[in-house]
Amino acid sequence: MTDLQNKAKNIIKNNSRGDFTIPCDTLYPFQWNWDSAFCALGIYTYSKERALREIDSLFNGQWENGMIPQIIFHTNNTTYFPGPEIWQSNTNPPSSCISQPPVLATIIWYMITLGLEDKTILNNYFDKLMKYHKWFVENRDPYNKGLLSIIHPWESGRDNSPDWDSAINAIKVDDSIHLERKDNTHIDEKERPTNDDYNRYMQIVYKCKEFNWDNKKIYDEGLFNVCDPGIQFIFIRACKDLYKIAVYLQRTEYYAILEEWIEHYSTNCNKLWNIHVNAYSSLNIKTGELHDCISCASMLYAYANIGGKEQRNAMIKHSKRILHATKYGFPSYDPHQKRFDSKKYWRGPVWCIINFMLSIGFASIKEVELSKKIKTNTSEMIENNGFFEYFDPYEGRGYGGENFSWTAAVYLIFKNELFL
C-alpha cells in the first residue's frame, strides 16, 4: 500500500465514529446514506469486518416502511443544519425523512464478488434491500409510471444542480422561514448553495411536515416533484445487482419482481430523452417539462446499461465533448452552458463518487477507453490536490470538505482494481 493509500485509509479511520463513518469533521457530522455505502466498499479493501459494520449501521437506521434515510443522527451534534430537531422523524435512531440514491445493493454485490460468502448475513441484507427497493417503487412512483421521483433536491444527492432550477425557483418562500445555516461557517459561501436555495429547501421540508410525511400526498400536492435521471439509472443498476444477489442466494421467489422492475424502469427511461438536446434529462413531473441541458446524472445511463444504439452514440459524443473541455472529468454540469460554475457544489465541480459510477458504467457498455480515462484522471486529480469533497474541473483544486471519506474510499477502490 502506497503512502497516499495509507493516507486515504487513515482519513476514513479518523472519520469513523465506531460503527459508521461521517463524510468529514464539523461540516457533515452524521451518517449519510450513499456516502456510507461508498465508504463501506473502500473500507472493504482493508477490513471486511469493519465494512460490514458500516452496512449494518445503515440498516439499523432503516424505517419500518423500508426507507433508508438520507441522514441518520446516531449522535448529538450542533454543527449541522437542519438537524433532528427540524425533521422530527420519531424514529430510533432519529433521521431525516427523505432518502438518497439507492447504491447499496450494488455495493453489496461488489462485496460478494470480492469474497463475501456468509449466506446468513447476505440473506438478511437481501431482505432489507428488497424492502428498500419496494419503498422506492411504492412511494416515488405511486402511479406506476416507470419514473422515480424525488420530492426534495437533497434526495438526488446533487443538492443545487441546475437540473432543479426551474422547479426550485417556482417555489414561493413564506416569510416565516428562518435559516440557521452552519455550513457557511466552515466553507466559503461562494462554494455552497445560496440562501435562496436553502430557503426553498426548507420550505419543501416544512410543507412535507404539514402533510405528516405522507408520501402519496407529497407526490400529489408537494412543492417539488422531479424525475431525476440519476436516481432512475442508479435504481435500475441496483435492481440488476439485487437480481444477481437473488440468484447467488437462490431466492427464486424474487426473480420475477426484480425482472419486472428492471424492465419497467429501463423501458420508461425513454420518457427522459430530450430530443432538443439529444440526451437524457431530468423531468419535472408537475409541469411535464424536460430540463434543457446535460448533467453528470445524464451520463449514468451507462451505469444502468440502458439506451438504444442512437441514444448511446449521442451520449458518447456528449461525453467526449465535455471531457475534452476540461482537464479533469467528469464535471457535474455541462461546461458549455451558462449555468455552469466550476467551483459551486453540484453546478460544475467534479465528484469522485460520480466518476466511480461512470467509470464502471462505461466499462459495462464496452467504452473501455472512456472508463480508463475517468479512472486515471480521478486518481491523478486526488494525487495532485488532496482528498477534498469536490474539485474544479479546470484546475483540479479541491473545494468543500477536506479529508473527505468517500473521496478516500474511491481512491482505495481504484487503486485496488475493484471493478466488476
Pairing of strands 226-227, 149-150: antiparallel
- Helix axis angle for 368-385 and 352-364, nearest 10°, is 160
Query: Which DSSP letter does residue 345 get?
Result: T
Q: State yes or no: is 175 an active-site residue.
A: no
List the catalytic residue out of 159, 183, 228, 392.
159
What one-letter code names the amino acid at 272?
L
SS3 at position 241: helix
SS3 at position 405: helix
Q: What DSSP letter does each residue of 244-310 carry, written as one string?
A: HHHHHHT-GGGHHHHHHHHHHHHHGGGGGEETTTTEE--EETTT-PBPSS-BGGGGGHHHHT---HH
> How many Å apart are CA 293 and CA 297, to the nearest integer?
11
Beta strand segments in 15-169, E: 31-32, 71-72, 149-150
**Percent helix, strand and coil across the chain, each rounded to 5?**
55, 10, 40
C-beta neighbour count of 151 within 10 angstroms: 24
List the catalytic residue out of 155, 197, 334, 389.
389
Provide the CA 246 distance to its chain's centre, in angstroms.
Answer: 23
> How many Å apart are CA 364 and CA 361, to the nearest integer?
5
18: left (phi over 0), alpha (psi -120 to 50) or beta: left
For the chain, report the end-to-end CA distance as a whole number of angstroms: 21
- Do the beta carbons of residue 414 and residue 365 sit within 8 Å? no
> How many Å apart are CA 308 and CA 235, to the nearest integer?
19
Q: State yes or no: is 389 an active-site residue.
A: yes
All three cell numbers of 349, joined, read 465541480
Closest listed residue to residue 198, CA positions, set 259, 258, 153: 153
- Helix axis angle for 33-44 and 48-60, nearest 10°, is 160
Read off φ and ψ for residue 133, nearest 5 degrees.
Answer: -65, -40
- Do the beta carbons of residue 370 and residue 322 sit within 8 Å? no
Query: Which DSSP letter does residue 388 get?
Result: E
Which residues are marked as active site?
159, 389
